[in-house]
Structure 1
């Protein structure tokens, strides 16, 4: 009987480890996504601060910073390539943080307040995507560590 080829589910099969550069980019991705998640929690607090008369300047400034960070996260994810799903999540994160957040905020200020409501919902989705990129990267690193340890 012929031997079956090793499949990716075969525990005896060794996966090729990524280069030191990709592992470094993956660590950077993890750090940036963690910082982004913290920044988004602060962003919600700043929105509340602005809603109660404190002004939205800090909220707007941090929002532009978070949008820029989302683009950097996308670029780092493409360099690290922590998997197709995480890369697609990073792409969606960047799109919703830049186009969604900035566009909806502008429309909310100049047009209907419903755009402002959509801005808040989009912000919640951006937070969820940031956490998903973070968790996906952590799982990828842990999975690779288990394979390297032979577990």
Structure 2
């Protein structure tokens, strides 16, 4: 089986299902599993309206020090979640475990007002379109979990 066939077997069809929550971890990092789901789907042609390499993905990739193209190329090999997690752990900028935990917790609790201006501007239009009106957004990750009906 070639890489493209493996990729297609692993890729979610994001026109029919959602990527994983940004809260879900892979290799010990929030956002990573979601970034993998979106990257696979975009590479397989099933990404729908989702984008790979977006500013949210960049938060993870910048923290671990992995360029998006390198990440995309590895995902394109058809690697499994376990293989990608292992690759991330080997490729990421070495950091003490507590630094990763702090970063994860900072993102889990990050309010919209604490995001970069460009993301705040994007969310100002995004939230009214995609988040149910009667559901308050307390932290950044709520936007995706509310829209994708996880909370």
What TM-score does the superposition give when structure 2 sets the normalisation length?
A: 0.27
Higher relative contact order (CA 8 A, sep 6+): 1
Q: Greater helix percent: which structure?
A: 1
Q: Which has the larger radius of gyration?
A: 1
